[in-house]
Amino acid sequence: MVERRVNVGWAEGLHARPASIFVRAASAAGVPVTIARAGGDPVNAASMLAVLSLGAKGGEEVVLASSAEDTTQAEAALDRLAKLVAEGLEELPETV
């Protein structure tokens, strides 16, 4: 399993628009990805309802993980998602 720990860069946390941006990126990642609040249970990162249910706030640490067999692809996907979350990007980068 590959993991990335990152602090949420969106001031409002993973709510509404930021969650939508993140879920679209996770869905396009090409590998299964989960997200969890630090110490919490992981949820499917490609599910809008699941991501919203986390209630992750701005600045809070979250854990992104993938158990994909292709660890190189999983590493790359998690790097892109971690950057998106940490920087609180308002649009999907072209590389996602």
Which residues belong to the active site? 15
CA distance 79 to 60: 18
Q: What angle do CA 30, 80, 91 make, to 5 degrees?
A: 100
CA distance 11 to 89: 11
Are the CB atoms for 3 and 65 separated by under 8 Å?
A: yes
